[in-house]
Chain A
Amino acid sequence: MTRLAAANIWCWGWLAVLSAAALMAAPLWLLLGLVRGRGLTRGAREGIWLYGRAYLFLIRPFVKVRLREGEAAEAGPASIIVMNHQSWLDIYVLGLVREAREACFLVRAWPFRRLFFFRPLMRLAGYIETEGVEAEAVFIRCRSELRSGSCLVCFPEGARSPDGRLGRFHSGVFKLAVEAGRAVRPLAVFGSGQVMPKGSLIFRPGAIEIKELPPAAPARFAGEAIVHGAMRRFVRLRFIRALEKPETNEGACSCQEKK
């Protein structure tokens, strides 16, 4: 059996087993959360995070995931994590980021429509749908989450990159950061697009690395005509520079800028 075939049997097999186990354990986990006084929403978020973390552990023989910590750990818990997006595995790799333990994801409309398996859990976890909803309504919910101490997670490209190249960033999350006076914490993901590219169903053995880039606070951009626009460009540039450095992502992709 080739290593590629073994990797796919292993990774898909564990995904099925773990997902089934997680679904069966979910009621008990949520009940435990209620008993502990954590509430359903926080319990669901923590459960999803642990599920992702467990999956990363299980696929280690073929897919090694490593976190390179940076200054972001000093930005405080109630901030906004932004990530580049190459693969659905990017959601799982957040299992290595402790600040994302009870994170609230900003999600486009289609996962709520098509991921029927995860939809109830996403609803229970209070993930925020950003598409087909008035921007102000989304901002109100996001601000409320930040005030309650939750960390928000967003993929500002809005979709997985088809070729690993960094796409254009949408403004919404940066506008939110400016309005709420919160820092944006960039997490650069390397290699997930090689392990499981968009449109593929084949795991390729490899390495994924998450690198915490320095956080960006809105105060830095005061005086700009469009403050969130300047913040968006600054953060994207940080991603471009980080993704262009092959020495920091051993065995991972070499990403290039895409306007």
Chain B
Amino acid sequence: MTNEEIWDIMIKAMSEEFELETGKMTPEAEIKADLGLDSLDIVDLVTVLETAFDFKIRDKAAMKEIRTLGDVAAFIAATTAAAPLKAPH
């Protein structure tokens, strides 16, 4: 899976689940400050990503360190053993 594919799937899954405007979803966007997700949403984000990418996130503590959408994409890339992200869009 390429970085672009990861980004597209992630944006689609997150925008649908959390009703986010895709225009605001940039790699630099902070998921709490800019997108307005709260701590409960971060818990749900694990399920959203697991469903969208059909994998199991075992290191859930690592999700707490994530700040931006770029971090999320990099986390998925690492988890799916894809190449590290350079510029998702």
Measured CB to CB, the residues of A under 8 A from B are 135, 168-172, 175, 225-226, 229, 233, 236, 259
| 4 further interface pairs, Cβ-Cβ under 8 Å (given A171-B44, A236-B19) | A168-B20, A171-B41, A226-B17, A226-B47
* A226 and B13 alpha carbons, distance in the complex (Å): 12
* A255 and B40 alpha carbons, distance in the complex (Å): 27
Tell me the smallest distance from the CB of A194 to a CB of chain B, in Å.
Answer: 25
B36 in contact with A135 (CB, 8 Å): no
B21 in contact with A225 (CB, 8 Å): no
B19 in contact with A259 (CB, 8 Å): yes
A170 in contact with B38 (CB, 8 Å): yes
B40 in contact with A175 (CB, 8 Å): yes
Q: Which 10 A-B pairs have the closest CB atoms?
A: A259-B21, A171-B40, A225-B51, A226-B44, A259-B19, A226-B47, A172-B40, A168-B36, A229-B17, A168-B19
Interchain pairs with CB closer than 8 A, number: 32
Q: Which residue of A lies closest to B52 (CB)?
A: A225
By DSSP majority rule, is chain B's interface helix, strand, loop, or mixed?
A: helix
Tell me the smallest distance from the CB of B23 to a CB of chain A, in Å.
Answer: 9
A233 in contact with B51 (CB, 8 Å): no
Number of residues on chain B facing chain A (CB within 8 A): 14
Q: Residues 10-37 of chain B: 1 if any A CB is under 8 Å from the residue's CB, otherwise 0?
A: 0000000111110000000000000010
B48 in contact with A226 (CB, 8 Å): yes
B residues near A259, Cβ cutoff 8 Å: 19-21
* A244 and B65 alpha carbons, distance in the complex (Å): 39
A residues near B44, Cβ cutoff 8 Å: 171, 226, 229
B residues near A170, Cβ cutoff 8 Å: 38, 40-41
B40 in contact with A135 (CB, 8 Å): yes
* A135 and B39 alpha carbons, distance in the complex (Å): 8
* A229 and B17 alpha carbons, distance in the complex (Å): 7
Q: Which residue of B lies closest to A259 (CB)?
A: B21
B residues near A168, Cβ cutoff 8 Å: 18-20, 36
B residues near A225, Cβ cutoff 8 Å: 47-48, 51
* A171 and B40 alpha carbons, distance in the complex (Å): 7
A residues near B18, Cβ cutoff 8 Å: 168, 229
User: A171 and B19 in contact (CB under 8 A), knowing A225-B47, A225-B51?
Assistant: no
Which among B18, B19, B40, B44 has the greatest number of chain A C-beta atoms within 10 A?
B19
* A225 and B38 alpha carbons, distance in the complex (Å): 19
A residues near B48, Cβ cutoff 8 Å: 225-226
A residues near B41, Cβ cutoff 8 Å: 170-171
* A168 and B15 alpha carbons, distance in the complex (Å): 12
A residues near B20, Cβ cutoff 8 Å: 168, 259
* A226 and B17 alpha carbons, distance in the complex (Å): 9
